[in-house]
Structure 1
Amino acid sequence: MKFRHSTALLLSTLAAAAATAATPAPTLPLYVGQALPGAHIKFGDFDVQHTLEGDSGRMNDDAKQPNALVDVHRTNKDGTGDALGFSWKNAWFSTVRVESAPVDLRPYLAKGTVSFDLKVNELAKGGLNYRIDCGQGCERKVTDVIPARAAQGKGWRHLSYALSCFHHQGDDFSAVTKPFALDGTGEGDVEIANIRIDAVGKPTETCPDYRTASVTPSPLNESWSLDWWMPRHEEKLAEIARRKAAGEPTELVFIGDSITHNWEQHNKPLWDEFWGKYHALNLGYGGDRTENVLWRLQHGEIDGIAPKVAVMMIGTNNTGFRMEEPQLLYAGIKRDIHEIQKHLPHTKILLLAIFPRAEKADDAQRMNNEKVNALLPKLADGKRVFFLNINKAFLAPDGTLSKDIMPDLLHPNGDGYKIWQREMQPTLDKLMH
């Protein structure tokens, strides 16, 4: 009888919880004149955050970025103190966010929206991300750079996104403690008000489909890339045209992100020493993800050359920027391989495993990349596409990554590039001949 009573009580509790989850409050006011009851406002940069106490607060005490400044203050939209002013500079990342007791956002997913009013005062050198956490160590964001810059000086505007923009299959929305964040890049000055989640809403803004982002060609439109990314692309096209006109062969091409880019940018003597004899072309772009490489390949960056070998390593920014699932990242790399083959049908492709990142082997981003690396051999046919994993050469026996090789635990220094060349050269020699 006691067991039956306990079972009945459990079923009753579950039924009540299901009913509550099925009928959410029509509106969840995250910051409408004031923060959600029990919530507070946090602000700062990547390493240092403070709680907003009173009407204003300032973060300028980050020892890692001594010149960084993040300022948050209550300002006015429809009434006194009903909005938040947010300005930042000299910080590569800054944030103002709502933190609360665990909130169940699952009932809002089907038709829900997250909306807010935004006023852009200054953003010529900055950009925005809107972010919602999605479980332990999980966050999803939507980027707003070009439209936000275009809104500078035009007053308040209302933005509404489908809540599904911030949710991937498998994400846990059952107990969200950071239901909204406004992140700034570069430098800027904005105001935000009326942050809310509605159970039923009509989005005014669109967002990329996370399931196809890695295979949808796109330039890299980040606040920190707009000044140089497209000019670099134009410079590479001009260099290819120059080589063609001069009859100068390009026997080797490297395609990738900042790990490849920095070899040419910060270690030029080593680049010339190792690859000058091949008239190598560096097509690495800092920050690039698979979809950015795809755009470049489709817009002439490997047209007009006929290299013997194309070395490609890409993907760590897919993981770092949007925590992309291994299968989706794999699809992006596969799509890039196919695009190279279409433009360079006689070139052999040497696909490298994504290099290790972070100090420990159990770091979430490194583990995600290793799951991708485990899939990549399927792309190699041993005839036109070859796969090489040299990651162990960068690591200690226990799997740790040293700052003596990658000072920021992501990008190689000179010693790291020497390891890359040493480990890759035997395979490259075979493919070149």
Structure 2
Amino acid sequence: FLGDSITDYWKREGKPIWEKAFAPYHPCNFGISGDQTTNLIYRITDSGIPAQTDPKLCIVMIGTNNTGHFKGGEAPEQTAMGILGAVEHLLVRFPDTHVLLLGIFPRGTGPQDKLRQHNDRINAVLAQCKLPRTTYANINRRFLDSAGKLLPGISRDNLHFTEKGYAIWADAVLPYIKKYCK
């Protein structure tokens, strides 16, 4: 798993779900709070993410800090290029690895939230991804009610998940993990 604080917090709020859902697959969490796409690219290319063998699957969820840090001022295409650049670097670094690229998760109080709309525009670009050994999945509907608001109890701040939110995330990615991590 590679990403920002939302990935990093599997170690905190998501820990019981992580241990229950993912332990049999021996996953590693390389999420770092505050990371943007350029930080992730650096970690993939220059910092030596420790790997004794190529992982079977890398799950990438990054980009909301680009939106938040620049208050929606970074063009969606630019953030998407950074995300896809990170995926390309993973594909080069790990030539036998499949990448599950997740759409940036919903943020804010509802569909009218400007930063959520910005992330949705980034996700629309990512949905066109044609990179080899890469599957794009937008699982955002799982986190939302019929009005487009975050489900009750899944987030403490309209961005980061509670254990309930991590359970939804785990349920959404387990089919991919089972497929690629046999």
Question: Is the pair's TM-score, using the shorter chain for normalization, greater than 0.5?
Answer: yes
- SS of 2:121's partner is helix
Cα shift at 1:371: 0.5
1:379 to 109, 114, 129: 129
Does the CA contact (< 8 Å) of 2:54 and 2:95 recur in 1? no
Cα shift at 1:428: 2.6
Letter in 2 for 1:326: P
Instruction: State the alpha-carbon separation in 2 of the partners of residues 429 and 380 from structure 1.
Output: 22
Letter in 2 for 1:275: F
**Structure 1 residue 357 and structure 2 residue 102: aligned?**
no
Alignment of 1:222-261 (within 5 A): 254-261=1-8
Alignment of 1:107-146 (within 5 A): none
Matching residue of 2:166: 417
Matching residue of 1:328: 78
Does the CA contact (< 8 Å) of 2:17 and 2:163 recur in 1? yes
Using the size of structure 1 for normalisation, the TM-score is 0.40
1:302/1:374 CA distance change after superposition, 3 Å: farther
Instruction: State the alpha-carbon separation in 1 of the partners of residues 41 and 24 from structure 2.
Output: 27
- SS of 1:401's partner is coil
Matching residue of 1:147: none
Does the CA contact (< 8 Å) of 1:402 and 1:409 recur in 2? no
- SS of 2:34's partner is coil
Residues 33-90 of structure 1: per-residue CA shift (max 9 Å, x gap): xxxxxxxxxxxxxxxxxxxxxxxxxxxxxxxxxxxxxxxxxxxxxxxxxxxxxxxxxx
Matching residue of 1:341: 91
- Where in structure 1 are there 5+ consecutive unaligned residues? 1-253
2:139 to 377, 386, 390: 390
- Where in structure 2 are there 5+ consecutive unaligned residues? none
Alignment of 1:286-301 (within 5 A): 286-298=33-45, 299-301=47-49
Alignment of 1:23-422 (within 5 A): 254-298=1-45, 299-322=47-70, 323=72, 324-381=74-131, 384-422=133-171
Does the CA contact (< 8 Å) of 2:17 and 2:170 recur in 1? no
Instruction: State the alpha-carbon separation in 1 of the partners of residues 145 and 22 from structure 2.
Output: 27
Does the CA contact (< 8 Å) of 1:302 and 1:343 recur in 2? no
Does the CA contact (< 8 Å) of 2:13 and 2:161 recur in 1? no
How high is the sequence identity, in percent, across the aligned residues?
A: 37
Instruction: State the alpha-carbon separation in 1 of the partners of residues 67 and 118 from structure 2.
Output: 7
Please give the root-mean-square deviation of Cα atoms over the aligned residues, in Å.
1.4
Please say which structure displays the higher CA radius of gyration: 1
**Number of aligned positions between the proteins:** 179
1:294/1:333 CA distance change after superposition, 3 Å: same
Cα shift at 1:265: 2.9
Does the CA contact (< 8 Å) of 2:14 and 2:167 recur in 1? no
Instruction: State the alpha-carbon separation in 1 of the partners of residues 156 and 12 from structure 2.
Output: 16
Q: Indicate the structure with greater strand content.
A: 1
Cα shift at 1:403: 4.8
Cα shift at 1:302: 4.8
Instruction: State the alpha-carbon separation in 1 of the partners of residues 98 and 160 from structure 2.
Output: 26
Cα shift at 1:303: 4.2
Instruction: State the alpha-carbon separation in 2 of the partners of residues 279 and 359 from structure 1.
Output: 35
